[in-house]
Amino acid sequence: MLLHVRRYAAFVLVSLFTTLTLGAQCPVPDGMDGGPCCTEPLPDIRVFRRFQQTALDICWRDCGIEAIQTCTATFATNLANPAGIAVSPCRNIQGFVVLSSGGGIKWVGRLNLYYSRTWLETDVAGNQVQVWRFLANGDLRATAAAGPIPCPVPPCAPAHGNRVRFTGYIDMAETCGLSPPKTEYAWMLTHACDPIDHAPGFPRAGVFHPERSYTFVGPAAGFVPGALQPTEAGGAPATASRRLNLPIPGTVLTTCAYEEPVNHNLSALAQLCLCGLPTGPQQWFLGDLVVGGTCGTFMTTPGGPFLPSFLSMGIGRWTNPAAYPGIERLRWNAGNYDDPDPCIGITFNRVYFGVSTFGGYPAFDILASGLTPPLAPTFIDQCSSIGTGATTLMNVPYLSDHILNLNH
Q: What is the CA radius of gyration of the chain?
A: 20
The pLDDT, as a whole number, for residue 264 is 94
Report helix, strand or coil for 84: coil
For residues 256 and 90, the answer to whether their CB atoms sit within 8 Å is: yes
DSSP-assigned states of every residue in 361-391? S-EEEEETTEEEEEPPSEEEEEEEEB-TTS-
- Per-state percent for the chain, helix, strand, coil, to nearest 5: 5, 50, 40
Residues in contact with 305: Cβ distance below 8 Å, sequence separation at least 6, in sequence order: 336, 349
The pLDDT, as a whole number, for residue 19 is 30
For residues 94 and 113, the answer to whether their CB atoms sit within 8 Å is: yes
Q: Which amino acid is at 391?
A: T
pTM: 0.92
Strands 163-175 and 182-191, by their bridges, are antiparallel
> CA nearest 328: which of 253, 229, 233?
229
The pLDDT, as a whole number, for residue 8 is 45
- The pLDDT profile of the chain, 408 residues, written as one tens digit per residue, is 444 444 444 434 434 333 333 444 789 898 888 889 988 887 777 777 789 999 999 999 999 999 999 999 999 987 655 444 456 666 678 899 999 998 799 999 999 999 999 999 999 999 999 999 999 999 999 999 999 999 999 999 999 999 999 999 999 999 998 877 789 999 999 999 999 999 999 999 999 999 999 999 999 999 999 999 999 988 776 678 888 766 555 555 557 889 999 999 999 999 999 999 999 999 999 999 999 999 999 999 999 999 999 999 999 999 999 999 999 999 999 999 999 999 888 899 999 999 999 999 999 999 888 888 889 999 999 999 999 878 999 999 999 999 999 999
CA distance 2 to 308: 39
CA distances from 388 to 58, 95, 399 (A): 32, 19, 7
CA distance 106 to 204: 22
DSSP structural state of residue 345: T
